[in-house]
Amino acid sequence: MNKNQITNETPPTQFIVKDTQSAIKLKREETREANQRYKAVVARAKEEAKLELAKLRLQMSAKEAASKHIAVFGPLYLLLLCGGFFYAIQYIPSTEISVVSSILTLLITMIGANLRSIVAGENGSGTQPPPSPSSKEKE
């Protein structure tokens, strides 16, 4: 058994109470104590979960972190690029709009390809990861 777990193996002490007010006070104290124990257990579980998340973040590779960042913020980047382009059209000379739009198209295509590869579970080279040995046996 884990020494950090709260054990409740000892039988609760029974008190003989002479009046109801004392019994009510005793019951309130027992309830308060039980609530404090419950809050302590919940707080400890939350702290353990936070530590586990921090541990997972520390073990995450740079590639996984970059993929996660692109997956979360990629649509925002696309929105900012397109919105900025539509706003800037009024200030860009008409002869240069095609150049800016082609550069924007390249950026959007690259971000879209990155998002697609993340969703599909592909690795960085653009190919599917090698199948696991268990998947070969099923075929």
**Model confidence over 38-76: pLDDT tens digits?**
999 999 999 999 999 889 888 888 778 877 888 888 888
d(CA 136, CA 115): 28
Cα R_g (the chain), whole angstroms: 30
pLDDT digit string, tens, across residues 109-132: 888 888 788 777 765 544 455 555
Q: Cα dist. 107→4, 11, 110 in Å?
A: 54, 69, 5
pTM over 0.85: no
